[in-house]
């Protein structure tokens, strides 16, 4: 067992303890291993340990890594070989900002998108999904701390953006946020949970390496963890 695999067990244990405190089931929480800037040799130990859900920030970087890794561990279209019949397919989510001109590439490559934040992107993604005949779920990213430097729609724009996705036949499982740094994230996670509930959504993509336990306690369904699994970047 290498260090990444030890860290995976450690993170899973902390997730389970946080879930227990919140009277939740740990299996209801999806751990997205954020593999941005990580090369294939850094990712393989987690794949070898059975982890199958990863996250990337950039379309181009994901295109360079994941088709080959998926082919190595499970076929790209999710159809396992005879030897891999009992192995879950590898899934990759886009967690970074998405330019509209990359929508088709994103729909082709990813299994979910966590950064839908504007009407123009709704149109681009709907067009790409129609062209490729492939629908993928998209979380709406909310600028929960109202920070001008961050992506995400305004809090007040959430209802109309949800309506736009429904008209475009794009599934929205929930909301995503990145709270402001250097402050306690709990109020922001709680606000995102309230926004989701008010809009009849159940998915909450929130929590990263430094705060995922708090996010789990406040209802996160997807946590995005990189450094706690892979270590600090060199």
Question: What pLDDT score does 2 carry?
Answer: 83
Helices 59-73 and 40-48, interaxial angle, to 10°? 40
CA-based nearest residue to 112, from 127, 125, 99, 123: 125
* Cβ pair 56, 95 in contact under 8 A: yes
Question: What pLDDT score does 87 carry?
Answer: 66
Fold of 3-230: TIM Barrel (3.20.20)
Q: Give CA–CA dist 205/226, Å, rounded.
A: 14
User: One digit per residue, pLDDT tens: the chain, 234 residues?
Assistant: 788 899 999 999 999 999 999 999 999 999 999 999 999 999 999 999 999 999 999 999 999 999 999 999 875 444 544 444 456 899 999 999 999 999 999 999 999 999 999 999 999 999 999 999 999 999 999 999 999 888 899 999 999 999 999 999 999 999 999 999 989 999 999 999 999 999 999 999 999 999 999 999 999 999 999 999 998 875
Question: What pLDDT score does 232 carry?
Answer: 84
Sequence spans of domains, the chain: 3-230
Helix segments in the chain, DSSP class H: 3-21, 40-48, 59-73, 103-109, 119-132, 158-167, 186-198, 212-217, 227-230
Question: What pLDDT score does 75 carry?
Answer: 52
Which residues lie across from 112 on neighbouring strands? 93
The Cα-based distances of 131 to 7, 102, 123, 124, 173 in angstroms read: 40, 14, 12, 11, 22
For residue 37, report the phi and psi dihedrals to the nearest 5 degrees.
Answer: 70, 0
Task: At 112, list the tokens.
Answer: 């979910």
What's the predicted TM-score (pTM) here? Answer: 0.93
């Amino acid at each position: 067992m290498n260090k990444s695999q030890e860290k995976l067990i450690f993170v899973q244990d902390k997730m389970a303890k946080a879930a227990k405190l919140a009277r939740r089931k740990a299996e209801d929480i999806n751990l997205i291993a954020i593999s941005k800037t990580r090369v294939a040799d850094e990712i393989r130990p987690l794949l070898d340990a059975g982890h199958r859900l990863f996250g990337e920030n950039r379309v181009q970087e994901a295109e360079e890594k994941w088709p080959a890794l998926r082919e190595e561990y499970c076929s790209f279209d999710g159809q396992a070989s005879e030897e891999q019949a009992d192995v879950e397919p590898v899934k990759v989510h886009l967690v970074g900002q998405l330019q509209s001109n990359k929508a088709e590439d994103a729909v082709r490559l990813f299994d979910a998108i966590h950064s839908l934040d504007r009407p123009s992107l709704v149109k681009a993604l709907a067009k790409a999904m129609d062209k490729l005949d492939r629908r993928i779920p998209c979380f709406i990213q909310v600028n929960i701390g109202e920070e001008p430097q961050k992506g995400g729609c305004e809090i007040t724009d959430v209802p109309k953006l949800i309506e736009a996705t429904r008209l475009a036949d794009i599934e929205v499982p929930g909301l995503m946020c990145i709270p402001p740094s250097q402050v306690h994230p709990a109020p922001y996670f709680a606000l995102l949970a309230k926004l989701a509930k008010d809009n009849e959504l159940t998915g909450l993509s929130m929590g990263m390496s430094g705060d995922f336990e708090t996010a789990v306690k406040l209802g996160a369904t997807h946590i995005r963890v990189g450094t706690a699994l892979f270590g600090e970047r060199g």
